[in-house]
Copies of this chain bind each other. A is one copy, B any other.
Amino acid sequence: MAKTITISLDVMGGDVGPDVVIPGADLSLLRHPNIRYELYGEKDAVEPILEKYPRVKAASNFHHCEVSITMDEKPSRALRRGRRDSSMWKSIEAVKNHEAEVMISAGNTGALMVMARFCLRMMAGIERPALAAIWPTLKGESIVLDVGATIGADAQQLIDFSLMGSAMARALFNLEKPTVGLLNIGVEEVKGLDEIKTAGAMLREVSLPGLKYSGFVEGDDLGKGTVDVVVTEGFTGNIALKSAEGTAKQIAEYLRAAMSRTLLARIGYIFAKQAFDRLRQKMDPRRSNGGVFLGLNGVVIKSHGGTDAEGFAAAIDLGYDMIHNGLIRKISTDLEIYEQSKIATDENEKSQ
């Protein structure tokens, strides 16, 4: 049997809380019987639901927490109020104390980010965390980061994101040398912010075993899947992600309206139902639910707050894969290799 993987869950997080988290944990457990859960939440809210899912109960330790962070709480307030006693904090702390290998929450993104950073601290050599999203493309899936952990990034931070993103791509997509592109705009006269140009030049200069730098990509390359990893700073990344999500919803709505408008269309819909189901599955946002916070001493995954059990299970599966494939180890190794090749390049330049 496969090695046990221990996952801590903030059971109170999300728009719904335990009624989504526990059934989600059950779905994921069916797929990965070697998961153990450390569950954190309010006793009165969690225990009745846990009774209904004996499989989860049998595979879990439950820890009562007095405090739950609300979805609209300011991160600074959440940290003040929820440090020590909240289900969010406790479940992150489980990763810090090596009681769990990955933490998953559907709770307040800002609070999760602040608490995770405060509790786990940044990895040596990384200045700022990034939130990485899995982006469905015409070729399969890509990783896009940062989609909103921090605003702005200098050249060094863009390189850190490239290293972390490609480590994640290797852990998730089973690639040896993922391609990496820097997100940029194509209007000739204004092409390239300085930090993007510098990062590009630096990535070209050092030769890294874990990634292949492919140059600049534009907004429409995201959906095409031109590269495996798209790197940008958090403001632009967040807007690109939400703009794409918004467009997908918009087209789904157009399609729904068109297909119910006339009798002929409705008949056509019945014939093509399987095809529509397939399309719906392709476009299902639950399939790629789960943003990964990269750059911390531990893996923390943010599930959409409004997702259902199937979506939450996808976030657990993602965490499982990250641990199973040694994400953190891959990132540390890459950082070391990068540091060494930077030193080598510098010395090379000096000796010339």
Question: Chain A residues in contact with chain B, CB under 8 A?
Answer: 74-76, 108-111, 113-114, 136-138, 148-151, 183, 185-190, 193, 218-224, 232, 234-236, 238-251, 253-255, 258-259, 261-262, 264-265, 267-276, 278-279, 282-283
Instruction: Count chain B CB atoms within 10 A of each CB in A149, A150, A259 and give the residue with the most.
Output: A259
Q: How far is the CB of A222 from chain B (nearest CB, A)?
A: 5
Taken together as a complex, chains A and B put the C-alpha atoms of A239 and B196 apart, in Å, by 14
Residues of B within 8 A of A254 (CB): 279, 282-283
Residues of B within 8 A of A136 (CB): 250
Residue among B223, B241, B268 making CB contact with A275, cutoff 8 Å = B268
Q: Is the CB of A271 within 8 A of B268?
A: yes
Q: Name the CB-closest residue of B to A235.
A: B185
Taken together as a complex, chains A and B put the C-alpha atoms of A187 and B293 apart, in Å, by 14
Copies in the complex: 2
Residue among B189, B218, B223 making CB contact with A110, cutoff 8 Å = B189
For the complex of A and B, list the 7 residue pairs with the smallest distance between their C-beta atoms, beginning with the closest: A219-B242, A268-B272, A268-B271, A110-B188, A223-B246, A220-B246, A265-B275
Taken together as a complex, chains A and B put the C-alpha atoms of A236 and B186 apart, in Å, by 12
**A189-B110, A240-B239 as given contacts; A272 in contact with B259, CB under 8 Å:** yes
Q: Can you give 5 A-B contacts (C-beta < 8 A)?
A: A110-B188, A185-B242, A193-B235, A222-B247, A223-B243
Taken together as a complex, chains A and B put the C-alpha atoms of A244 and B248 apart, in Å, by 8
| 13 more A-B residue pairs beyond the given contacts A148-B187, A220-B243, A239-B240, with a C-beta to C-beta distance below 8 A | A151-B190, A151-B193, A190-B235, A219-B240, A219-B244, A220-B245, A240-B240, A244-B247, A251-B251, A258-B272, A259-B275, A262-B275, A268-B273
**A151-B193, A268-B275, A279-B258 as given contacts; A244 in contact with B244, CB under 8 Å:** yes
Residues of B within 8 A of A274 (CB): 262, 264-265
Taken together as a complex, chains A and B put the C-alpha atoms of A234 and B189 apart, in Å, by 12
- Per DSSP, chain A at the interface is helix
Taken together as a complex, chains A and B put the C-alpha atoms of A31 and B286 apart, in Å, by 46
Taken together as a complex, chains A and B put the C-alpha atoms of A144 and B267 apart, in Å, by 38
Taken together as a complex, chains A and B put the C-alpha atoms of A59 and B267 apart, in Å, by 49
Q: Is the CB of A272 within 8 A of B269?
A: yes
Q: Is the CB of B258 within 8 A of A265?
A: no
Residues of B within 8 A of A282 (CB): 254, 258
Residues of B within 8 A of A248 (CB): 247, 251
Taken together as a complex, chains A and B put the C-alpha atoms of A193 and B148 apart, in Å, by 12
Q: Is the CB of B250 within 8 A of A223?
A: yes
Q: Is the CB of B188 within 8 A of A149?
A: no
Taken together as a complex, chains A and B put the C-alpha atoms of A242 and B216 apart, in Å, by 14
